[in-house]
Structure formats: structure tokens, C-alpha cells
A and B are shown apart, each in its own frame.
Chain A
Amino acid sequence: MSVAGITETVQYLTFKLSEEVFALDVAKVREILEITSITKVPQTPDFMRGVINLRGSVVPVIDMRLKFGMSATEQTVNTCIIVVEINMDGDATVLGALADSVQEVVEMDPESIEAAPHIGTRLKTDFIKGMGKVDNRFVMILDIDKVFSSDELAELG
């Protein structure tokens, strides 16, 4: 049983938010940074943690845990920022997402991916492309463009 929209075997970056494992299409990932000082922009929602300096560019950083209704990310030695490039309203936008730790890159073929259930994940189903399996554990594959779409972020101001 597979999911419409996932037709090829693709590599995914797996990472953890709290104890759960998520996955992101590796093609969307630019780089992975160690956590660095984040400048908070006032009057923005909590999940918009702020901006960082990435080799001269100012890049926004989102706290995915907060976005997904979990408690705020706490800084540990494993915390890192996954820098992704997404499509926001037709423009390529670079931003960072906080993760508690980064795991490994795995390949998952379309047959092993199931559709996300409508309830039980506590996340908006839009966010999840499908459920994959790694080492017998379920992995939620995120549709990163939807997670960071402008509608989602329009809670501002």
C-alpha cells in the first residue's frame, strides 16, 4: 500500500523531536548546523525562535516542537538546526528548523510508506506526507513546504 505523490525511492534525513522520529526529503536539506546564538525578533510567536547569521545571510529559525504542540526545544549538546530550502509562495526560501538530534539518512521505497492516519498523530494531516518504517519503528515523513507555508506562519502581527 503506498501513498499518492510518493512514487520514487528517495533518501530521507531522520531526526528526533523529543522521542519521536521524523523524516525529511534530503533534497530539501541544505545543511545541518550546531545550535548557535539565535536573535529573537520581538512580537513574534514563540515558535519563531529568531534569526541566525549563516555566513553573512540572516536566516529565520523555527522551533518545530512548539509548532507541533510540544514543549519548547531545550538546548542540549545534540540540538541542531536543520537548514532547509522550501518553496514559499513560489519563491525559494531558506530557513532553519530546530531539532533535538539528527539521526541518519535512510532510503525508503514507496511501497513501504503508508498514508498518515486522520487521527492519532496530533498533527495536521497536511504536514505529513506519509508514514515510513525504519528499524521497525514508524517514522513520520514531513511535507516541509506545508509545515512552513505562509499560511502557517501568518499567525504573526
Chain B
Amino acid sequence: MMEQAITTYREEAGELLAELETSLLDLEETPDNSDLINRVFRAMHTIKGSGAMFGFDEIAIFTHEVETVFDLVRNGKMTVTKRLLDLTLKSRDHISYLLSCQIGEKVDRSRGDEIIAGLRQLLPKPETDGKKSTNIQANNGSPHSDEELADESTWRIRFRPATNILLCGTNPLSLINELRELGSAHVVAQFDEIPQLSDLSPENCYIYWDIILTTTRGEDAIRDVFIFVEDDCEIKIELIDRSGLIDKEGDYKKLGDILVERGDLSPVEMQKVLMQQKRFGELLVEQGIVTSEKVQSALVEQQHVKGVRKERSEAPQVETAASIRVPAERLDQLINLVGEMVTVQARLSQVSLAGGDPTFIAISEEVERLTNELRDTALNIRMLPIGSTFSKFKRLVRDLSGELGKEIEMETFGAETELDKTVIEKLNDPLVHLIRNSIDHGIEMPEIRRAAGKSTIGKVHLGAEHSGDSVLITIKDDGAGLDRDAIKAKAIERGLISPTAEPADREIYAQIFAPGFSTAATVTSVSGRGVGMDVVKRGIDGLRGTIGVDSIRGRGTTITLKIPLTLAIIDSLLVRIGKDHFVLPLAAIEECIELTTADVANSHGRNLANVRGAIIPYIPLRQHFRITGQRPDIEQIVIADIHGTKVGFVVDKVVGEHQTVIKSLGKMYRNVKGVSGATILGDGTVALILDMNLLLQSVEKLEHDAV
């Protein structure tokens, strides 16, 4: 279980570090913001405290230093400077490093020591030894392992609590019980200080106790019992008997008699004590303090209010936490089950429609409605706002622009836009690369910008918004823009574009994603090798997304990523060729039209269709997939928009819309171009999911090579 707490601590510390970074960056812009300063301090404090508790001593020790400095800032004894923020940001990184080390593993303290030295230099006066020891024992009344006196001793203990002791939540009786556990005890409660009822406050404790305790544990053990209250109460502990002194008289005297003999107890009080079996009310009555009617009335009130309060506390008042941590695998399990549910429900619908029983159909429709809602809700669980990714990039931009000597500001838009958690994770690397590119190759050096009439501060804009069932993410910079001609030239050089073709600007820009493509004259440590962009494209393709590039020379470049909202279940179109079924993702599909043998004859062997005057190329899938059997007279062309181009895919029959639960085909089919997965249909057979983009590419390549 400790494992789990440690894991949680790591996650929590990670989140705190992220929050810390954001606060520090914000603090840079508003150095006097006390709210931010407090947040920084608190983050440090929590990381330190919890760290020590879970064994991360290195973190506790290091963080303590930084916390000390920020405590001074908090108290107004130091101001926030760039140097301080730099050091604190570096501290954050060091803590992150420490966090990644295993407990007990040897850590590299050199960085940490450097940072601490730097921080110490910033302190307002020569440092007095402010290093508090972190080795505090939790000395909290846990039973002392005292030297056990070999012999028993008997103690007289007078415990007179402060009147308001109850208001500190202390229950004197539990203290007395603790004493009892030390040995054998006799307790006497004294009531003589209880005032008249009119003067009596039920919240006060007017009782004091005499306890005679025989124990082998020693005086310290007795003192420990009172550790929390010793400042507020009168505690007298006297040794009255030791087993070394043997009383030769056999039976010892009765407790009451002893006390009476000692003068601590008057005979009258002893009577009182002996009648302690009775309840307080009766005692009061007998003592003549309160009339029995008043006691009755008070008892009634007591019961009444107790009852009312009991009712109230039983009413559903339990608030659930605003959010709850769930291990990612559990979510995956849930999504899998939802997927199964969707599949089975499809079968249910099929069977119910085939059966024709109206009651059954109605129920099946209800199940369909619920399943859809379940599906949407479940998929929604994994949605997180992209904002946290964006904030990370702020740090990247800051550091990188500093490194390169450029002045760059980052703005973000749509941080609250939500995406599937896995998608966000997979987008991280591509986005990092695109931003680095903008900063390195896009935004110019300040002098060049000034000469061009632009502000010396370059802007990088990150935006996110929903569009249909996809998310659009834009990375825009106001830098130098792409050199269209250079790219075209390079592309022709590498055989990616034919010299005579007149491709649209967008297509030219799309060439930058080809592997190894780079028009950079120099390679910097950041980019230029031409390695990154095709990795970016592959990453985006892996998410079933698309990348579009627009640019105006001298003004800037905009890269638009379009990513579907979910990975696991997509709406598709179910089609049939021969006896095989395939599935095409619905998002890109625009329409379906008929293709007759006459049309085919008319186009003279070219796979082109005339759709309301426009020429649309199509891919005869039956042929492409070498599916055996007779080609039907009437086929269907499914027309889709792929990266701006309209392309048709010819199938025998369009069966209908289908909610596709995506099943991976596994490693073995990794290289198959055009099939990106499989799904299980209502009748249990497997249908293949087609990747229209890759199909198009492979057909292009085939036709190219054939020429």
C-alpha cells in the first residue's frame, strides 16, 4: 500500500511542480502578486512535508532551502527578482530530477548544491544557521519505552483540568483510561466544584479526579498521558508506595478509607462516590441542587434535540469529492467494456429489426439510446483540457528564445478545449517540434525584424478549438514565413513533385513533411536536420489527424492540425465488396453516388467520374484489393475529402452507418497500407477499417511508378 501512496505522492508532486512552474512564470510578469507568492510557498511546503513522510529525504532537504527563501519573500523581507525566479525554476527542475530517482538511489547533488549556493547569495543578510534539522522525532504521547521499574510503584495523581478543557476537544475520561492502561488504577471524581445549575456551563468541566495508580511503568509514562494538556491543567503526581516496601499486614486498606484517612476525602463525599452508579441528574437531585422537575424537563429537551440532530445527520449530506483519481488502466477497461457493449447492441438492433416484434424493437431502441449516451459519457471521461500542455510550452518558449537571443512571446487560445488524454500525450512531441521550428526558423532575430518594420518581439500563437467531431490546433508565428520557391525547388530535386506540375501552395508546403526534407542552410542544435517534420507527420497520422500548412513570405506561417476527438470508437460507413465488409471513417466522407457500367465505359479506362461538372478521381477498391468475383453492374462511389482533395472509393454496396469499435490488427499488419484496424460487426464477422489517406498515397505511388 505504501507503494500506492508513494505513487500518488509522485503524481501529486509532479502536479505541484507543474503548478509551481506556471506560478513562477506568472510571477515574472507580476512580481508583487502575493497570491502567487503564497502559491509558490505552499507548493514548496507541501512537497517538502509529504516528501519527508514518504522517504524522499533528499527532496525534503533541498526543498527546505528554497522554501526558506520564499518564506522571506512572503514576509516582505525579500523581493522577487529575475535571478530569484531563474534559480527557483532551476530548483523546480532539480526537484523533478530528484523525484525521478528511486528512494535510496544515489543522487547527483551537485546541481542542487549550486542552486542552494545561488539562493543563499540572494538572502538579505549573512545567513545565521537557519537550517532546521529535519530529524524531528514524533514524540506524541506514544507510550514511552521507559525503563520498566523492576518493581511496582503506586502513585497518587490529582488531575484538575482547566474548566475549558472540553473546548479543546480533550476528553478527560480518555486520559483517565490511558492511565488505567498503565497498570491498575482507582479513580475518584470530585464534584464539589460543580456550581449551581444556574452558574453551570455544560461546556465546562468542573470535575477533577484523584487517581491511585499502581504501575511498573514509571513517572514519565504517567506524564506522557497528559502531554497535550499539561499546560492547561493542574497535574500532581506523587509516589506513595513502592513494592520494595512490603507491608506485612496482608490485605491493604480500602481505597476510600485510605483517602478518608489521608483527609482527601470527606465521608460525605465518599458516600457520593459510592452512589456514582446513578446518573448525573439523580445525583443533582439528591444533592438538592436541582429539583427533580427541572431535571425531567432538561432530560426531555435533551432527548428532543438529540432526536432532531440525529435526523439531520442521517439525511444525505455526504459530498463527493469534486474530482477523483482513477488509474488509467481502469478507464481503459471501462472503455473496452463500452466498446463491447456497442458491438453487442448493434447485434441486438439487427436481430430486433429482423424479428419485427414491436415491443422488442422498442426495447432495443431504448437500449441503443442508452448505449449511445454511455458511450459518449465514457469517452468523455478521458477528456482533459489542453491548457496544461500549453502552459508547458510557455516555459519552452521562454528558455529557447533566451538561448537563441530572440525575443518571443507566446499567446494561447482555447486552453479549455478538451481532448482525450492519450491524444494529448501523443500530441506533445509533435507540438514541441513545431514550436521549436517556429522559434528557430520562423521568427527572425530582433534586428532583422526591426529592419523589416516588425516589432522586435516575435509572437507565437497556440490555439485550440472544436470543429465538428475534431479538434483544430493552430501554431501560428509572425516570422519569416516559408520560402515557397525554395521548397518547390527542393521537392523537384528530390522527385517529390514533377517539374511540369502546377501544385497548389498548400501542396508545396506539405512537402516539408517528407523524410529528410530541409531547406535549412545551417543545422542548429534545435532543428534543421530535416528529421523532425516527418516524425511530426507520422505522429499526427498515428492520431488519424491531418496537417495543413499556410504561409505568407515575410509575414508568418500557420500550421493547422486537425485531430479526431476520440481514438477508440468512431462513426463510420459500412460498405461491402464481394463478400467482404469494410468500414470508412465518416468524418471525411461527403457523399455517395452511383457508378454504372455505362459510366465506366464512358471514361475510357481512366478512373475519373463527373460529379455535377467536377472531375473526381476514384479508386476501384475491388481491383486494388484484388477481390475475386464478378464486378456488379451498379457500384457505389464514396466521395471523401482528403487533405483538400476530393477522391472517390468504389465499393459494391454501401450498407449504412456503423459505430465502429476500433480493434488493432497488431504488429503483423503494421505495414499494410490502407488498412488501419479492424472491427467486429453485429453478426460476429470481422470488417477491416480503411485508411483513405494511405490508400490514396499508395495508389498515387503505384500510378507514378507505372508511368
Contacts and interface: CB of A to CB of B under 8 A. Distances in A.
A108 B625 CA distance: 45
A39 interface: yes
Interface string A10-54: 000000000000000000000000000101111110001011110
A130 interface: no
Interface stretch (B179-187, B468-476, B659-667): B659-667
Interface in B615-657: 624-627
Given A41-B665, A41-B688, A88-B667, A58 B680 contact: yes
Contact of A153 (B343, B665, B668): B668
Interface in A40-87: 40-44, 48, 50-53, 56-58, 60
A88 B668 CA distance: 10
A42 B667 contact: no
Contacts of B684: 53
Contacts of A104: none
A48 to B, nearest CB: 7
Interface residues of A, number: 26
Contacts of B627: 42
A156 interface: yes
B673 A157 contact: yes
Interface in A81-99: 88-89, 91, 93, 95
Nearest to B624: A42
Nearest to A39: B686
A9 interface: no
Given A60-B666, A89-B667, A51 B686 contact: yes
A42 B668 contact: no
A58 B678 contact: yes
Contacts of B340: 56
Contacts of B625: 42-43
A44 B667 contact: no
B673 A43 contact: yes
A72 B200 CA distance: 100
Interface in B669-694: 669, 671-675, 678, 680, 684-688
B678 A39 contact: yes
A60 B673 contact: no
Contacts of A48: 668
A112 interface: no
Contacts of A41: 665, 669, 672, 675, 688
A87 to B, nearest CB: 12
A119 B403 CA distance: 65
B580 interface: yes
Contact of A39 (B343, B667, B673, B687): B687
Given A89-B667, A157-B672, A42 B686 contact: no
B667 A58 contact: no
Contacts of A89: 667
Contacts of B680: 53, 56, 58
A103 interface: no
A51 B678 contact: yes
Contacts of A52: 686
Contact of B667 (A37, A40, A57, A93): A93
Interface string B229-256: 0000000000000000000000000000
A37 B664 CA distance: 18
A60 B666 CA distance: 8
Contact of A44 (B666, B669, B686): B669
Contact of A58 (B580, B665, B674): B665
A156 B672 contact: yes
A157 B665 contact: no
Contacts of B666: 58, 60, 93, 95
B671 A39 contact: no
B685 A39 contact: yes
Contacts of B673: 43, 157
A40 B580 CA distance: 8
A70 to B, nearest CB: 21
Interface string A88-129: 110101010000000000000000000000000000000000
A60 B668 CA distance: 8
A58 to B, nearest CB: 4
A139 to B, nearest CB: 27
Nearest to B664: A58
A44 B668 CA distance: 10
Contacts of B672: 41-44, 156-157
A140 to B, nearest CB: 24
A58 B343 CA distance: 13
13 contacts: A42-B625, A44-B672, A48-B668, A52-B686, A53-B685, A56-B343, A58-B678, A58-B686, A60-B669, A93-B667, A93-B668, A154-B671, A156-B671
Which 5 residue pairs of A and B lie closest in terms of their CB atoms, listed nearest first?
A: A157-B671, A42-B625, A39-B686, A58-B663, A58-B678
Interface of B: 340, 343, 580, 624-627, 663-669, 671-675, 678, 680, 684-688
Given A44-B672, A56-B340, A58-B665, 15 more contacts: A39-B580, A39-B685, A39-B686, A40-B580, A41-B672, A41-B688, A42-B674, A43-B673, A51-B686, A56-B680, A58-B664, A58-B678, A95-B666, A95-B668, A150-B667
